[in-house]
Structure 1
């Protein structure tokens, strides 16, 4: 069985949170050992503690999706009133996953070293919960999704891959389920991720992550919506 493309063994998973105008993050290594939250001096995602040397993954074959029609360019979640552009994000030099900058909190990042939505394996889309200035981010209401809610991901070729939410959970950042999010699958899957839980003012970080899990229901032409 072909293995899905996923984050490398020593890379870290990063989810960015925003509060009081400053960005913060928590990272978890695939072995489950948490990285401490780290402050940022500006509205950029700070570096987490680096993993072991030489563990950043090489671009896998699925990255070819960047150059063809499979790459996602827009996401539509009718129940949340979300219609947002999607752009590729990769890995920082320290092995943490990039997210869209806080100056573009209404954009969604697709982890481009994993599968494109609709391909076999876990497609991962990340978005901010807020801007740090009081305004909501693209996934502000992600935690209100329910099983059966629909998600459409528009590809560069104009086709819409349709998903149905299967579950939504909120997890402590210190116990982020890296293996379940990025691990191998024998089917196409979608994970939508943002920050959640209370904002810890002492640590200046959100304490939890919200993860929405979905499976595809099919694809079809998208009535001219290409995300451009």
Structure 2
């Protein structure tokens, strides 16, 4: 299970990264209009998002995890649904509804507190943030990927907006098991009003976050928002 000490460390690391890192890059997405809508919800915090780009002005990088589905605070064992799985590092993610299959890089924090970010080259894979629970463990596992690539084409998570509730996300794990999640909903968040504790807080059971950038601003050449898919373990 995602221990209290590790959870607190995760929250602290996310907060540090949020303070040190900028937002997504300046290269427009393949379809700039697709992500131009305003945020679907907001939070009370002014902490900016903790993901940046591998190099300025090249690609967009996911910037934050979403708020949990529940806001009652940390709890013990989940009250319904599958029991949490034991920890095992993720190897790949498959999203059948999108025809998407990607290996998963493992990314964490550098010694200075800044976050390592996924490569933005065409065909680059998605990544698991290794300070979050492994997919299937108690708590919110974080997967992130670019919405666009360095050549302006689509990134690995360009299709997240096409997901609907009930679509499945399958994460293959190093122990040979597969954690299967069902999409609950999706939200768009402004990076200027990002509540770190709400986003990275504990959940009632094993959950998954798929995160990319959104809200491309044609005036600044940057992505102002994050698009986040919430999913819950179902098998």
After TM superposition, the score normalised by the length of structure 1 is 0.70
Distance change >3 Å, CA 161–CA 108, structure 1 → 2: same
Say if 2:174 is the partner of 1:156: yes
Asked if 1:214 is matched to 2:231, the reply is yes
Distance 1:164 1:155 in 2: 17
Equivalent in the alignment of 2:27: 19
Is 1:76 the counterpart of 2:101? The answer is no
Show structure 1 runs of 4+ deviating over 4 A.
Answer: 37-46
2:47 match:
33
* 1:105 CA drift (Å): 5.0
The answer (yes or no) to whether the contact 1:43–1:101 under 8 Å persists in 2 is no
Bigger relative CO (Cα 8 Å, ≥ 6 apart): 2
Which residue matches 2:32? Answer: none
Change (3 A) 1:146 1:83: same
Number of residue pairs matched by the alignment: 187
Query: Hey, which of these two has a bigger chunk of helix by percent?
Result: 2
8 Å CA contact 1:176–1:209 kept in 2: the answer is no
Select the residue among 159, 177, 184 that pairs with 1:141. 159
Match of residue 221, structure 2, among 197, 204, 209: 204
How far is the alpha carbon of 1:106 from its aligned partner? Answer: 3.1
Q: Assess if the C-alpha contact under 8 Å between 1:169 and 1:211 holds in 2.
A: yes
Structure 1 residues 18 and 158: alpha-carbon distance in aligned structure 2, compared to 1, 3 A threshold: farther
Deviations 1:15-39 (A, max 9, x none): 6445169xxxxxxxx953337x989
Change (3 A) 1:164 1:41: closer
Asked if residue 109 in structure 1 is aligned to residue 140 in structure 2, the reply is: no
Does the aligned pair in 1 maintain the 2:128–2:144 contact within 8 Å? yes
CA deviation map 1:51-80 (0-9, x unaligned): xxxxxxxxxxxxxxxxx9710010000111
CA distance in 1 between counterparts of 2:122 and 2:201 reads 28
Instruction: Specify the alignment match of 2:11 in structure 1.
Output: 7
1:131 aligns with 2:149: yes
Distance change (3 Å), C-alpha of 1:192 and 1:78: same
What is aligned with 1:56? none
1:165 maps onto 2:183 in alignment = yes
Q: Could you say what secondary structure the match of 1:179 adopts?
A: helix
Partner of 1:49: none
Alignment match, 1:27 = none
The structure that is strand-richer by fraction is 1
Report the Cα offset of residue 109 of structure 1. Answer: 1.2
What secondary structure sits across from 1:73 in the alignment? strand
In structure 2, what is the Cα distance between the partners aligned to 1:97 and 1:144?
28
- Does 2:143 align with 1:120? no
How far residue 134 of structure 1 moved from its aligned partner, in angstroms, is: 2.2
| RMSD of aligned Cα (Å) | 3.2
